[in-house]
């Protein structure tokens, strides 16, 4: 009797354990053994933590989108505003062609100024170099009688030589890029005054060669040719900076020059490459400026310095926020061109142009700073969330059910029929 009573008690305990296990997703086999399938219970606050994780991801994605495409969205918004305010003149093909033609040289100069910025340096001589290049082109064609292709080639190569000089002063003489390029810019301005003797270079009665002026005045597919120069240069710089080792080295140098030295990147050589590339682009822009204006003016280059740097610095807040890039520079120049054309058609005063340039720069930098801070806050929250869920004993992801011994595991004869001695 004692044996039967003890066997009945064990059978009742086993049945109770099986019922509890089935409530948590277990199953009983044909012999009555219990097999656990795993608990489906959620930890305390598990659903809330999943929602928090989704909110963090959404905030990260939102901050990334604002930083990447915020300036592009602002460009579209500005175009819509001016199109509604000036429906008869602004959203027309003639106005678009005029914008592309007038803003092509500032766009090219901004792309040239962007190259040293990639390495963390600044070339303040781009404005002076532009004035010198266009005066030199006019001098060689008008007064010296050179063939225009030879003159253009000499001017572009001369721009590259000036860039190499800037690179040598910055990388080997260890002069700060602001001071070095400002000094070379002053020398270029002096050379411009020496060539022109303080006066304009005006072509004779025959004018300039038509093939030379067509470099700027001709059209392709109904659009001004200079717009295609900007597009080709932007694509070339995108390939160099984003798809080739040269660009990666330049970005590493701009991020941390000491680390670049430690990994074996010749920082001085690539710094010179960056300034040389800027000089070549400035020389090309000077040739286009000579073809556009068709006279040599010794003081015209400085008017392009601020728009070039505004475009280059604004470009580092779009597409790839935090670093200078060709696509962002094109977007920045576009918003400047649309804004300047719009306020010009609205009859704004002459001082509205620098006001718009400065205001746009502050607005874009503020937008980039806000998006960056938002991404940092969201990233910090995501890090805390992941650490909290990964730390043992904080809030376990699952709570395993207690193991129940089975007759097969213990070797107990309780699974057989009750026996009497």
**What's the pLDDT score for residue 324?**
83
Confidence class for position 416, pLDDT limits 50, 70, 90? very low
d(CA 258, CA 249): 12
pLDDT for 271 equals 94
Q: Which residue has the higher pLDDT, 64 or 310?
A: 310
pLDDT in tens, 3-35: 445 555 666 566 655 554 444 444 444 444 444
**pLDDT at res. 189:** 92
pLDDT for position 360: 73
Q: Taking 70 as the threshold, does the pLDDT of residue 311 lie above it?
A: yes
pLDDT at 183 > cutoff 60 = yes
Burial class (CB in 10 A: 0-12, 13-18, 19+), 344: middle
* Mean pLDDT, rounded, for 201-208: 84
User: Residue 1: pLDDT above 60?
Assistant: no
More confident site: 346 or 372: 346
Q: Which residue has the higher pLDDT, 216 or 31?
A: 216
**65-98 pLDDT per residue, tens:** 665 666 777 888 888 998 888 888 888 888 888 8
The residues near 200 (Cβ < 8 Å, ≥ 6 apart) are: 295, 296, 297, 298
* Of 20-29, 57-66, 404-413, highest mean pLDDT: 57-66
> Which residue, among 270, 312, 336, 273, has the nearest Cα to 108 in the 3D structure?
312
pLDDT above 90: residue 406? no
Range of lowest pLDDT (241-250, 330-339, 343-352): 343-352
Calpha distance 341→172 (Å, rounded): 43
Q: Locate 4 and state its tokens.
A: 């039967």
**d(Cα 412, Cα 421) in Å, to the nearest integer?**
17
């Amino acid at each position: 009797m004692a044996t039967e009573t003890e066997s009945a008690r064990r059978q009742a305990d086993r049945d109770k354990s099986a019922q509890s296990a089935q409530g948590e997703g277990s199953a009983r086999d044909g012999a009555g053994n219990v097999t656990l399938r795993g608990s489906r219970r959620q930890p305390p606050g598990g659903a809330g933590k999943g929602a928090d994780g989704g909110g963090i991801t959404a905030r990260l994605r939102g901050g990334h989108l604002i930083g990447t495409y915020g300036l592009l969205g602002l460009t579209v918004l500005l175009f819509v505003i001016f199109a509604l305010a000036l429906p008869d003149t602004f959203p027309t093909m003639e106005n678009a062609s005029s914008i592309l033609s007038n803003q092509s040289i500032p766009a090219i100069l901004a792309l040239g100024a962007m190259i040293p910025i990639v390495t963390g340096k600044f070339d303040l001589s781009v404005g002076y170099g532009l004035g010198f290049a266009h005066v030199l082109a006019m001098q060689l064609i008008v007064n010296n009688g050179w063939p225009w292709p030879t003159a253009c080639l000499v001017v572009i190569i001369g721009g590259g030589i000036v860039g190499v000089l800037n690179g040598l002063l910055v990388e080997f003489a260890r002069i700060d890029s602001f001071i070095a390029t400002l000094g070379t810019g002053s020398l270029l301005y002096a050379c411009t005054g020496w060539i022109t003797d303080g006066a304009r270079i005006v072509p004779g009665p025959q004018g300039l060669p038509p093939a030379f002026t067509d470099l700027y005045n001709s059209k392709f597919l109904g659009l001004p040719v200079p717009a295609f120069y900007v597009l080709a240069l932007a694509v070339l710089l995108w390939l160099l900076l984003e798809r080739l080792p040269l660009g990666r080295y330049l970005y590493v140098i701009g991020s941390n020059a000491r680390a670049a030295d430690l990994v074996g990147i010749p920082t001085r050589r690539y710094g010179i490459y960056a300034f040389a590339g800027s000089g070549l682009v400035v020389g090309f822009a000077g040739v286009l400026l000579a073809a556009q204006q068709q006279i040599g003016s010794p003081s015209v280059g400085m008017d392009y310095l601020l728009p070039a740097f505004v475009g280059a610095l604004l470009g580092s807040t779009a597409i790839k926020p935090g670093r200078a890039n060709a696509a962002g520079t094109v977007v920045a120049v576009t918003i400047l061109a649309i804004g300047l054309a719009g306020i010009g058609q609205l009859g704004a005063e002459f001082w509205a142009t620098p006001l718009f340039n400065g205001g746009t720069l502050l607005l874009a930098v503020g937008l980039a700073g806000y998006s960056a801070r938002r991404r940092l806050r969201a990233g910090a929250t995501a890090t805390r969330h992941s650490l909290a869920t990964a730390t043992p004993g904080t809030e376990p992801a699952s709570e395993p059910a207690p193991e129940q011994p089975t007759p097969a595991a213990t070797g107990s004869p309780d699974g057989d029929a009750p026996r009497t001695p």
